[in-house]
């Protein structure tokens, strides 16, 4: 082999490594999540903990709903709790709990307070200037 062939192979290998590492970094950066921490079954939440796009947490029911816990609607003359309406506020000693796995999955899918990157984007960065 000539000297030019050896140099060309070394250069070619280096270019491939750079391209592969750049693609890997881009793919991983596109999957990053920015914003508030993830909702988890390991965390505890209090009544009326609000998640944008999801709703209000009802601790006795371990899930999020569209209205605050024991929200009163004067037209219905009813209170909202656990996804239904009742004639009186729901009474419970539970005011803090961990959500169910199903509630976490639904909440994470519906929330609007995070920025999700993904494939096909050239940049996942958001710049803020003071």
Could you give the dihedral angle defined by the CA atoms of residues 43, 88, 86 and 81, in that order, rounded to the nearest 10 degrees?
-10
Element spanning 63, H or E: strand 63-65
Q: How confident is the model at residue 5 (pLDDT cuts 50, 70, 90)?
A: low
Cβ neighbours of 110 (radius 10 Å): 13
For residues 112 and 71, which has the higher predicted lDDT (pLDDT)?
71
71 pLDDT more than 70:
yes
- Whether residue 67 is predicted with pLDDT greater than 90 in this model: the reply is yes
pLDDT of residue 113: 80
Instruction: Provide the pLDDT confidence category of residue 6 given band limits of 50, 70 and 90.
Output: low
- Tokens 């096909």, residue located: 120
What does the longest C-alpha to C-alpha distance in the chain come to?
91
Structural tokens at position 125: 């960065």
Given a cut of 90, whether residue 121 has pLDDT beyond it is no
- pTM for this predicted structure: 0.62
pLDDT-above-90 percentage for the chain: 52
Which tokens is 68 given? 């605050």
């Amino acid at each position: 082999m000539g000297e030019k062939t050896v140099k060309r192979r070394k250069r070619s290998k280096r270019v491939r490594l750079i391209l592969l590492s750049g693609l890997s970094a881009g793919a991983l950066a596109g999957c990053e999540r920015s914003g508030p921490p993830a909702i988890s079954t390991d965390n505890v939440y209090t009544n009326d903990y609000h998640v944008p796009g999801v709703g209000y947490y009802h601790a006795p029911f371990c899930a999020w709903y569209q209205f605050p816990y024991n929200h009163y609607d004067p037209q219905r003359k009813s209170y909202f709790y656990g996804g239904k309406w009742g004639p009186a506020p729901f009474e419970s000693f539970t005011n803090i709990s961990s959500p169910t796995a199903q509630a976490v999955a639904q909440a994470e899918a519906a929330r609007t307070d995070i920025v999700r990157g993904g494939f096909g984007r050239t940049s996942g960065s958001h710049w803020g200037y003071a």
